[in-house]
Amino acid sequence: MLKGYLCVVLHGHLPYVRHPEHDDFLEEDWLYEAITETYIPLITMFERLERDGVRFRLTMSVTPTLASMLTDPLLQDRYLRHINRLIELSHKEIERTAWLPAFNKLARMYLSLFSEARDVFERYDRDLTRAFKRFQDSGNLEIITCGATHGYLPLMDVTAPSVRAQTKTAVAHYQKVFGRPPRGIWLPECGYQPGHDEILKECGLKYFFSDSHGILHGTPRPKYGVFAPVYCKTGVACFARDMESSKQVWSSVEGYPGDYLYREFYRDIGFDLEYDYIKPYIHPDGVRINTGVKYYRISGSTNQKEPYDPDAAREKAAEHAGNFMFNREKQAEYLYDALGRPPMIISPYDAELYGHWWFEGPQWLEFLIRKVTFDQKSLRMVTPSEYLAENPKNQVLTPSMSSWGWKGYSEVWLQGTNDWIYRHLHKASRVMTELVRQNPHVHGLKRRALNQALRELLLAQSSDWAFIMATGTHVSYAQRRTKEHLLSFFKLADGVRADGVSEPFLRDLESRDNIFPDIDYRVHQ
Amino acid sequence: MKREPRKKAKRSQPSKGRAVTRPRAVRRAVTRAAAKKAAVPAQIPLHDMKAEESKYYMGVSEPVYQKSFAQELQQGELPGRYDEDVLVLQIRDPWWAHSYWDVNQATLARLKQDVGPAWGGCRWILRAYDISFINFDGTNAHRFFDTEVDLDARNWYLNFGSPGTSWCADLGVLLADGRFITVVRSNTIMLPLDGPSWVTDEEWMIPDDDFRRLYGMSVGLGSRVSSPVGKLWQERLKRDVSSRGLASMGVSSPVKKAKGKAAFWLVADCELVVYGATEPDARVTIQGRPLTLRPDGTFTLRFALPDGKQVIPVEATSAKTGEKRSVTPTVTRRTTRQP
């Protein structure tokens, strides 16, 4: 008998990092690592489930920046170069570890993972959005959109046209990539500001997600806590995160990923091996970086590092999946009695957690899906659309402003290290609105300049830059990105106003910041 | 397979910091050797024949991105201010908001003129008005509080101390006689609640005790919570379960870093290089496994060397005569550690 719904949401996002002006660019590795370690393992999991006739129901955001990078020919070529280097390295590693059987086994594991990654990549014609689309079209995956460049919307509240531009551009891009309009949206950083649901409604979006307190602190009180969605006054539904299931995966103390049988993220041969040997596989200027080849498992407080044992780790992942399911069954049973209706349990995670940090994460998820499908009857995995279709009657309330960042509001993106950016972002946003008003119908060079100006503004708005400034690594890169997009924006704006757009400058920007080729600047109003 | 013609390494720009001074020739040599190796049917499981296709891939076609623009952008700086009258409030959390402002030169000049001789004695003030549930007309605020600011600081954090209330602020000057002149007024913000609302919904009523249990469950503290519901959120915050608190992009991992400040440490390890040469067409094995010769007949192998004894027979068989030669180094590694 049905006692509860489980809705697992993966938030797949990376900021737009693409530098044709450099042959090799450190921050582009974020994408390449995520492809090998997260997106491809998820795709092969979907393939296995489908092959075995498992009807899985997962919700996943593929942000417009991520989708744009996955469909970009330059980055596709570079990923191939990247994975080929890793394949070459793992061949060398198999040779080098000939006298260390435990490591040799791992070197072979990496060769097979990397080779499989390349095969999958080629199989989908180097465009992984096709893979995600395939599983959406087959009715298993529900792909949702996000802000166009993952701009944190509550800190754009004073410039509402930017909130609209972020949303409309995202929806149009989704339509182009996935061949249908999106039903839901992952608000960047789960950042909800009351009133923004009006813009979501305008864009045809039916639902979004918030953190727990989005609903819990909404007005009036939510009768079902976070265990049922609510409607905003606009009719857009809001689903809130369940903390209990979240912390089992996220928590640094109680979370599964810290288990001693799992792979250690921090020991990488890019740092561990002799310099001349590893040099061709680290950054070309000689700086040691992670290669993705990691041989150790997480160890306790002792210094003794044990080699990773994939079989033992897999067993553990299965056990953890069983534990997670057991806890959800108990939770659903309790809530079913308390609420008088089956609770909706929302478990959202950063997709890149799976595989990239938590190497065994995709295995865990696959075990979970299979177990929920075959081993019990009280839980059902659903997507938000499916839930709403079955349960259309829900309370109406105004969710509270909230985010899923540290402390639950905007402090991550608004603090001493990054608060200086908003003066400039808001100024640019007001200038953009003004330009749209003054130039409702323009063509040729001016139109191109206005479109590019909006691209630059959107790119400057990515919450990732403020986030990186706050966390303290890659800070100069984040500052540089913010500054350069804004400077480009202002230069274009000056050109438009003076009727003197420099075509070579514009052309260069178009080729470098080439995101959203079909953008329409008029969405910024 | 197309190989890019050898060009002078062209740098698109002398970028600061992340300059990529890439030893092209070296990389090329390495990959070429590797490509040869991969092409030989072999000692390694090769479901991998496509590897060589990309070995000569040297990156992208020359970027259209031009030097002058790149430098202009890199060296450009954003203006410190835009010389406009602006005051913006942004919510940081239920208690605090950030404000930034600027005052136009002309506005300032006019203001000085209006104030006249009293200008010397006036102070810049942020006046915050509590305008919860009203239409503010400039005079009907429930209350206000003043914060003295340095005009040139151009930003400040304000503590309102009352979640769930609405505010706007004026930046202005307070004259010695107590008069306040507004220079620019901010947007309005409504601070979020820091706990559940007291407003209930007739159709969706829930008894307080039930709600408290549900709230405990919702924030992951369980159903047997004893604190009043308004306190639970603070408890939840202390548990630190934020998500994006974990950075994406490998900045952080769900696993705690081993040690913050580690004690003094030392790592030393050994690898063994076995190298040699024979006729280029000879067949060579090492410890019984075939190995690949370079075109000139030389070979190099590299092994991680564990403690213990390694017997490493290297055998070559002539392709022409079938003659055999062997060389067998024996290596023993013994490692001691102190302390």
Inform me whether the C-beta atom of residue A216 falls under 8 Å from chain B C-beta atoms. Answer: yes
| Token code pair at residue B313 | 């027979």
Chain A residues in contact with B240 by the CB 8 A cut-off are 252
Q: Where in the sequence numbering do the catalytic residues of A fall? A: 189, 350
Inform me whether the C-beta atom of residue A225 falls under 8 Å from chain B C-beta atoms. Answer: yes
Quick one: pLDDT at residue A46? Answer: 98
Give residue-wise pLDDT tens across range A9-67.
999 999 999 999 888 888 999 999 999 999 999 999 999 999 999 999 999 999 999 99
A488/B21 Cβ within 8 A? no
Give residue-wise pLDDT tens across range A128-157.
999 999 999 999 999 999 999 999 999 999
Chain A residues in contact with B271 by the CB 8 A cut-off are 96, 274, 277
Query: pTM here?
Result: 0.89
Quick one: pLDDT at residue A217? Answer: 95
- Contact, B155 vs B98, CB < 8 A? yes
Distance of CA A178 to the CA centre of its chain: 17
Nearest-Cα residue of chain A relative to residue B153: A420
State the average pLDDT for chain B: 77
| ipTM entry | 0.94
**Residue B254 reports pLDDT greater than 50:** no
Chain B residues in contact with A419 by the CB 8 A cut-off are 98, 100, 155
| Token code pair at residue A408 | 């639950």
Q: How open is the CA angle B27-B30-B32, to the nearest 5 degrees? A: 105
Inform me whether the C-beta atom of residue A168 falls under 8 Å from chain B C-beta atoms. Answer: no
Concatenate the DSSP letters of all residues of A86-145 into one string: HHHHHHHHHHHTTT-HHHHHHHHHHHHHHHHHHHHHHHTTT-HHHHHHHHHHTTSEEEEE
Q: How far is A43 from chain B (nearest CA, A)?
A: 20
The residue behind tokens 């754009």 is A156
Q: Tell me whether the omega of the peptide bond preceding residue A310 falls within 30 degrees of 0, making it cis.
A: no
Query: pLDDT band for position B239 (50/70/90)?
Result: low
Bridge partner list, B332: B309
Q: Is residue B297 packed enough to be buried (19+ CB in 10 Å), middle (13-18) or exposed (0-12)? A: middle
Concatenate the DSSP letters of all residues of A170-190 into one string: HHHHHHHHHSS--SEEE-GGG
Q: Which of A429, A427, A393, A386 is closest to A523 using CA atoms?
A: A429
- Choice among B22-31, B40-49, B115-124 with the minimum mean pLDDT: B40-49
Task: Identify the residue with better confidence: A449 or B218.
Answer: A449
Mean pLDDT of A482-499: 96
- Contact, B130 vs B164, CB < 8 A? no
Quick one: pLDDT at residue A248? Answer: 84
User: How many A-B residue pairs are in contact by the CB < 8 A criterion?
Assistant: 341
Mean pLDDT of B75-79: 88
Give residue-wise pLDDT tens across range B267-310.
899 999 999 999 999 999 999 999 999 999 999 999 999 999 99
- Partner residue facing B60 (CB), from A77, A414, A484: A77
Residues 41-70 (A) with a CB less than 8 A from some CB of B: none
- Contact, B46 vs B38, CB < 8 A? yes
Mean pLDDT of A235-256: 87
**Residue A262 reports pLDDT greater than 60:** yes
Quick one: pLDDT at residue B262? Answer: 64
CA distance A506 to A356: 37
Query: pLDDT band for position B13 (50/70/90)?
Result: very low
Quick one: pLDDT at residue B53? Answer: 31
- Contact, A414 vs A200, CB < 8 A? no
Quick one: pLDDT at residue B236? Answer: 66
Query: What residues have CB less than 8 Å from B259, skipping those under 6 apart?
Result: none
CA distance A302 to B45: 36
- Choice among A79-88, B19-28, B183-192 with the minimum mean pLDDT: B19-28
A480/B206 Cβ within 8 A? no
- Partner residue facing A505 (CB), from B69, B78, B196: B69
- Contact, B296 vs B315, CB < 8 A? no
Query: pLDDT band for position A501 (50/70/90)?
Result: very high
Chain B residues in contact with A13 by the CB 8 A cut-off are 248
What DSSP character marks residue B258? S
Question: Can you list the pairs that B79-83 forms with residues at least 24 positions away whose Cβ atoms lie under 8 Å?
Answer: B81/A423, B81/B154, B82/A423, B82/A427
Q: How far is A100 from chain B (nearest CA, A)?
A: 7
Q: How far is B236 from chain A (nearest CA, A)?
A: 9
Chain B residues in contact with A334 by the CB 8 A cut-off are 217, 223
Question: Can you list the pairs that B100-109 forms with residues at least 24 positions away whose Cβ atoms lie under 8 Å?
Answer: B100/A419, B100/A422, B100/A423, B100/B154, B100/B155, B101/B154, B101/B155, B101/B171, B101/B184, B102/A423, B102/B154, B103/B151, B103/B171, B103/B183, B103/B184, B107/B183, B107/B184
Query: pLDDT band for position B47 (50/70/90)?
Result: very low
Nearest-Cα residue of chain A relative to residue B14: A22
**Residue A280 reports pLDDT greater than 70:** yes
Query: pLDDT band for position B27 (50/70/90)?
Result: very low
| Token code pair at residue A123 | 């199989």
Task: Identify the residue with better confidence: B73 or B85.
Answer: B85
Nearest-Cα residue of chain B relative to residue A488: B73
A246-266 burial, b at 16+ Cβ within 10 Å, e below that, comes to bbbbbbbeebbbbbebbbbbe
Concatenate the DSSP letters of all residues of B95-113 into one string: SEEEEEEE--HHHHHHHHH
Query: pLDDT band for position B220 (50/70/90)?
Result: confident
Mean pLDDT of B213-224: 82
**Residue A243 reports pLDDT greater than 60:** yes
Q: Which of B213, B216, B210, B208 is closest to B232 using CA atoms?
A: B216
Inform me whether the C-beta atom of residue A302 falls under 8 Å from chain B C-beta atoms. Answer: no
Backbone angles phi, psi at B33, to 5 degrees: -60, -40
Mean pLDDT of B223-244: 62
- Contact, B170 vs B184, CB < 8 A? yes
Work out the percent of chain A whose per-residue pLDDT is above 70.
Answer: 99
Q: What are the Cα distances from residue A431, in Å, to A164, A460, B307?
A: 15, 14, 69
CA distance A241 to A491: 42
Inform me whether the C-beta atom of residue B263 falls under 8 Å from chain A C-beta atoms. Answer: no
Q: Which of A21, A267, A19, A31 is closest to A126 using CA atoms?
A: A31
Mean pLDDT of A348-355: 93
- Choice among A48-62, A113-127, B25-39, B141-155 with the minimum mean pLDDT: B25-39
Give residue-wise pLDDT tens across range A364-408.
999 999 999 999 999 999 999 999 999 999 999 999 999 998 889
Mean pLDDT of B195-212: 90
Inform me whether the C-beta atom of residue A402 falls under 8 Å from chain B C-beta atoms. Answer: yes
Inform me whether the C-beta atom of residue A347 falls under 8 Å from chain B C-beta atoms. Answer: no
What DSSP character marks residue A151? B
A99/B304 Cβ within 8 A? yes
Mean pLDDT of B61-73: 54
Quick one: pLDDT at residue B258? Answer: 42
Quick one: pLDDT at residue B226? Answer: 67
Quick one: pLDDT at residue A254? Answer: 72
Mean pLDDT of B91-105: 97
Helix (H) or strand (E) holding B324: strand B324-327
Q: What are the Cα distances from residue A200, in Å, to A56, A145, A170, A391, A454?
A: 27, 11, 11, 21, 20
**Residue B3 reports pLDDT greater than 60:** no
Inform me whether the C-beta atom of residue A102 falls under 8 Å from chain B C-beta atoms. Answer: no
Helix (H) or strand (E) holding A481: helix A475-497
Residues 82-101 (A) with a CB less than 8 A from some CB of B: 84, 87-88, 91-92, 94-100
- Contact, A132 vs A44, CB < 8 A? no
- Choice among A198-207, A462-471, B63-72, B240-249 with the minimum mean pLDDT: B240-249
B82/A427 Cβ within 8 A? yes
Spell out the alpha helix ranges (H) of B62-197.
67-75, 105-115
Q: How far is B176 from chain A (nearest CA, A)?
A: 31
- Contact, B57 vs B155, CB < 8 A? no
Inform me whether the C-beta atom of residue A327 falls under 8 Å from chain B C-beta atoms. Answer: no
CA distance A358 to A371: 20
Quick one: pLDDT at residue A473? Answer: 80
Chain B residues in contact with A98 by the CB 8 A cut-off are 287, 289, 303
Mean pLDDT of A264-286: 92
